[in-house]
Chains A and B, each alone.
Chain A
Amino acid sequence: MRFEHPATFNPIDQLKVIGHPTSRIEGPLKTTGTAPYAYERHDVVTNQAYGYVVGSAIGKGRIATINLEAANAAPGVLAIVTAENAGKLGKGERNAAPLLGGPEIAHYHQAVAVVVAGTFEQARAAAQLVRIDYVKGDGKFDLAAAIDAAGTPTPSFGGPADTAVGDFAVSFAAAPVQLDATYTTPDQGHAMMEPHASIAAWDDGKLTVWTSNQMIAWGAEDMAKTLGIPKENVRLVSPYIGGGFGGKLFLRADVLLAALGARAAGRPVKVTLQRPLMFNNTTHRPATIQRIRIGAERDGRITAIGHESWSGNVKDGEPEMAVSQTRLLYAGANRMTATRLAALDLPEGNAMRAPGEASGMMALEIAIDELADKLGIDPVVLRISNDTQVDPEHPERHFSQRQLVQCLSDGAARFGWDKRDPKPGQIRDGRWLVGMGVAAAFRNNLVTKSAARVRLDQQGTVTVETDMTDIGTGSYTIIAQTAAEMMGVPLERVVVRLGDSDFPVSCGSGGQWGGNNSTAGVYAACVKLRESIAQKLGFNSEEAEFADGVVRSGNRSAPLAQAAGQGDLVAEDAIEYGDLAKTYQQSTFGAHFVEVGVDADTAEIRVRRMLAVCAAGRILNPKAARSQVIGAMTMGVGAALMEYLVVDKRHGLFITHDLAAYEVPVHADIPHQDVIFLDETDPMSSPMKAKGVAELGICGVAAAVANAVHNATGVRVRDYPITLDKLLAGMPEPV
């Protein structure tokens, strides 16, 4: 089905099932520990051996010698695979650094060997016996030192390296009020709870991998390319994924090493990346240095806005597009953005929840707060007065929906923003200095092809199959709701099967595109199934109504199941998009409000209250969508206050590479969180009229925390994370 014109009334608009806060249909499995994750598939093949990964102990250079003698002789060892004996390997389309290193080493903890043994304990012990002599090379690990030599990246997924409208330099220089500030965001890790894990089994040249991956088709394609075998010979299965956040978008070393290990050992092999290996072995959100300049009239009207960002990456890696939102969020006649990329030898930087905007909003939304201070204008009011209903670079392009102003004003009223004292350090609650902060939330809505197959059987059960994944987002449930709504059956009559490369190729889970696109693909398949059911029952498909397990047309009706009386009816289709995303700018909007307490003596920061107001198209399931937003708010608190992959610039690694040193929010860090969804349907996005929401929720949160800390203490921290050592020197004098 091609989606080329704005959606009109369709069966989804009945909202009998869609739009309801249905509990997750897989909930009873997840809460009882019976949902099977990748490493747990004892049921799929017998005789599984264990692989243990050895990571490079240098950040840059090469392996001089690798001695496997002792390891090979260790009890239980079946095989050891290194680059020397792995055979010729290609590289996945979406991988920058090779997944199996040697002799050249691209980054620290790049996999250099997998030791396969009969048990986990044997494999782990033998891995310690692998002796590697390295020749260390000169690596570049310091972003700040590398930016002078940074280059102009080729235009990427996130947009061109340079954008300009009007004359930024002249209008900024002429502006009566100017802000010019530089912000830094550190490298951050996905730190999903389930480590990357795979079980690989070969059968007559064909490979099956039970894995944990967000994008099944990408993974299968890149696995085939890396191994140099036909794509048809690779099957990936990933029904449950213990978190991804972008860290499982691509083929990673666990898949490759399980496949190579299984081939070498001649039996199925399971591999999980050890937690302390994950942070340097896999991808991360790259650090940024961002300079923001804003010129404004005294009434607050922005006349010039400029955003420059520097990040680093390995060869073939891409820049962090931290300037993206600045092209669209606020009005202003004169604008520029610039993105530069430095060559670094740290592990590969890549997508993490809201790549681009998450980092960019961390900086931009402090800058707006600083501008509000300079102007003496309330930061909510300043944002509202610089709203734009059109793409500022192309004023003929309207936003499909844009309720940023409503988000800000509703949020302010709900949060009690009027009780905020604009002068910092004024509100005390015992030993706590209390402050409030606000930030806008912004993330683009992306549309992309997504396919599904739908089957009706003679029991009247509707089965949906698509390679879409559920990484905790609620895909199982919203897909079931979509099929139930379309076919006129209760939710219990729908079976959803996901995450298998044998199923039609979906959009996958990433970029907050999964919800809208995957359900739109199911919608398309259901439209086709409805046609074939109507035809089978002798009804006019245009007039047939599907409700309560019955198909009606005029004064005739028949049970839905009757259509499958002589055999299952199957329909497959995909949603494909026309130009609506070009003619209209599709984005999601929100406002984050945060209250913090800062200990007047120790500068310890506690988040006390959080509210997000979101406008993101139709909310297909308010319960699951709310969870996406509170989860994103939680990750935003982490970004604001603690998450920090500290770079060891001598040895070229992230030194905080486990869950003790890479701090993420825990229960005690997060208060009760409020989320409000504004009533919105977006007919430009898809027949579902929905948009993404899972990444919107993180965009702006960290800045709202930073702004609240400033309001509490008067200390402006521009370098994340905001830790108490950065506050102490500037804290208000004790009263």
Chain B
Amino acid sequence: MTRVFFDVNGETHQLELDTRTTLLDALREHLHLTGTKKGCDHGQCGACTVIVDGRRINSCLTLAVMHQGDEITTIEGLGTPDGLHPLQAAFVEHDGYQCGYCTPGQICSAVAVLAEVKAGIPSHVTADLNAPVRLTNAELRERMSGNICRCGAYSNIAEAISEVAGRSA
């Protein structure tokens, strides 16, 4: 057991944890922030995506004790049912989900993708590393590909993200 503290959605939490506890299980089982989903527990599906110090990660692939002092944003920190984040609202409007289980991860990823593009961070499909990154269809789909949606809402998710990014899918 070890003590760890970090910020989640602007609130500081101090926890006494088994060192084997993943960040994902710390959120879900200890803080009862169950918006972050466990789809595979192996970094293969993206359902557990959260934003740590501004970068998206798979929270199942990292131990909670590695995040001492970190600032973590989960889906609950983006918006609420009565006050949706623009991406949450766009997912509702474009039906960018069906069963809803991958959805928090998709939305957290999308928030980070827009920030990555803004920051000029290239991806596997970026043709020109010296030019500003543009959120093309290929860029969007490449960057979101770590988030599996088995219901197959991809076409709608692309529309939702594009709308928020101010472009057409």
Contact = CB atoms under 8 A, between A and B. Distances in A.
Contacts of A35: 100
Interface residues of B, number: 65
A119 B18 contact: yes
Interface residues of A, number: 65
In the complex, which of the residues B21, B38, B101, B142 has the most CB atoms of chain A within 10 Å of its own CB atom?
A: B101
Interface string B102-119: 111001000000000000
B146 to A, nearest CB: 8
B59 interface: no
Contacts of A23: 92-93, 95
Contact of A658 (B35, B42, B79, B91): B42
B124 to A, nearest CB: 9
Contact of A192 (B32, B107, B150, B169): B150
14 contacts: A28-B82, A28-B92, A31-B103, A33-B104, A121-B25, A195-B40, A244-B99, A623-B95, A634-B155, A658-B40, A660-B44, A665-B152, A666-B146, A671-B155
Contacts of B52: none
Contacts, number: 200
Nearest to A26: B100
Contacts of A626: 95
Q: Dominant SS at the B interface?
A: loop
A667 interface: yes
Interface in A460-502: 471-474
A659 interface: yes
A561 interface: no
Nearest to A474: B98
B68 interface: no
A672 B100 contact: no
A632 B103 CA distance: 18
In the complex, which of the residues A30, A37, A194, A626 has the most CB atoms of chain B within 10 Å of its own CB atom?
A: A30
B164 interface: no
B99 A194 contact: yes
Interface of B: 18, 20-21, 25, 28-29, 32-42, 44-45, 47, 74-76, 78-82, 84, 88-89, 91-93, 95, 97-104, 107, 137-138, 140-142, 144-158, 169
A125 interface: yes
A633 interface: yes
A193 B89 CA distance: 22
Contact of A24 (B29, B76, B95, B146): B95
A127 to B, nearest CB: 13
In the complex, which of the residues A26, A27, A275 has the most CB atoms of chain B within 10 Å of its own CB atom?
A: A27
Given A33-B76, A195-B39, A670-B154, A627 B95 contact: yes
Given A630-B153, A667-B154, A660 B92 contact: no
A241 B98 CA distance: 10
B116 to A, nearest CB: 15
A42 B155 CA distance: 34
B100 A30 contact: yes
A673 interface: yes
A658 B44 contact: yes
Given A32-B78, A32-B88, 10 more contacts: A27-B97, A30-B100, A32-B75, A33-B34, A37-B101, A40-B28, A627-B151, A635-B150, A658-B42, A664-B148
A181 B78 CA distance: 55
B31 to A, nearest CB: 10
A673 B155 contact: yes
B18 A672 contact: no
Contact of A242 (B37, B84, B107, B140): B37
In the complex, which of the residues B20, B39, B47, B144 has the most CB atoms of chain A within 10 Å of its own CB atom?
A: B39
Contact of A193 (B32, B91, B99): B99
Contacts of B93: 23
B121 to A, nearest CB: 17
Contacts of B156: 627, 630
A23 B91 CA distance: 10
In the A-B complex, the 3 residue pairs with the smallest Cβ-Cβ separation, listed nearest first, are A33-B35, A634-B152, A242-B101
Interface string A195-236: 100000000000000000000000000000000000000000
Contact of A31 (B29, B74, B91, B158): B91
Contacts of B28: 40
A670 B151 CA distance: 13
A120 interface: yes
Interface in A250-297: 272, 274-276
B169 A631 contact: no
Given A272-B38, A659-B39, A667-B141, A31 B107 contact: yes
